[in-house]
Amino acid sequence: MVHLYRHYRWTQNPLIVSAPMRTVSGASLAAAVSNAGGLGFIATGYSLSDPVVLSDLSTLPTLLAPGASFGIGFILFRGHLPEALSLTQRYRPAAVWFFAPSGAAQMSEWLCAFGRLDARIWVQVSSVREAEETVFGRGGDMVDVVVAQGVADAGGHGMVRGGSVMGLVPEVVDMLAARGRTDVCVVAAGGVVDGRGVAAVLALGAQAAAVGTAFIASEESQASQGFRDLVVNTSDGGVGTVRYTPPRPSSPG
């Protein structure tokens, strides 16, 4: 299997990835993670013309250590593909992370469009079927990384239905190996908050761990102090918190 270090030479093993979280993952957090030997992502959210996003993208390169880079997370089901391509060409991230296409055809559109650029392509999935349709569908040869998100574990954006990291990650790893795509790396996401979680997902076959909620509490996070305090002070999180999934906007008709 191709190791992620071949793509990201500044990183350390085990590789820690900061997930793209809008209003949390700005330039300071992404730079701190990448400078520490991980891979930090900036989240663009639903508006690629947001002044905060554009400011983060222009500031981030000045905060990075020599040789380090970053990634950009895109949610493009509302459109904005030309703008996303333009931002990627301008800021030259080491990776782009896709999530929430309206369907397989839209994901293929994204993959084929971005496949012409230098950035490595990451695709977030929540089921083995979704991973298989993406990697072996039109444009799937452009996929470098599958982010296997355990929906039952994750606190951030995810699909309405999906299993846990424990079951999803090894099944995706095995499916890719069985079908000969050992060039595609698997990153585990969902419920990883410390070194024990990282060790667990590596044992499941992932090459790296994506951390989201835990970074909300970091000093470099864009989250308000009240939000940070809630994350730090929450106990029995699996029972005491609720994961909210907002409805998607209706398609124009």
Q: What is the span of the domain harbouring residue 90?
A: 4-15+78-232
The b-or-e profile of 110-129 (16+ CB within 10 A means b, else e) is bbebbeeeebbbbbbbbbbe
Looking at residue 13, the DSSP 8-state letter turns out to be S
Residue in 42, 84, 49, 83 with CA at minimum distance from that of residue 63? 42
pTM, entire model: 0.89
Give the Cα separation of 202 and 247 in Å (integer).
33
Q: What are phi and psi of 58, to 5 degrees?
A: -80, -30
Domain count, the chain: 1
- Domain of 208: which CATH number? 3.20.20.70
Structure tokens that stand for 197 in this block: 């979680």
pLDDT in tens, the chain (253 residues): 567 888 899 999 999 999 999 889 899 999 999 999 999 999 998 788 889 999 999 999 999 999 999 999 998 887 789 999 999 999 999 999 999 888 889 999 999 999 888 899 999 999 999 999 999 999 999 999 999 998 766 666 666 666 789 999 999 999 999 999 999 999 999 989 899 999 999 999 999 999 998 999 999 999 989 888 888 887 776 666 666 555 554 443 3
Please report whether residue 187 resides in a domain: yes
Residue 249 lies in a domain: no
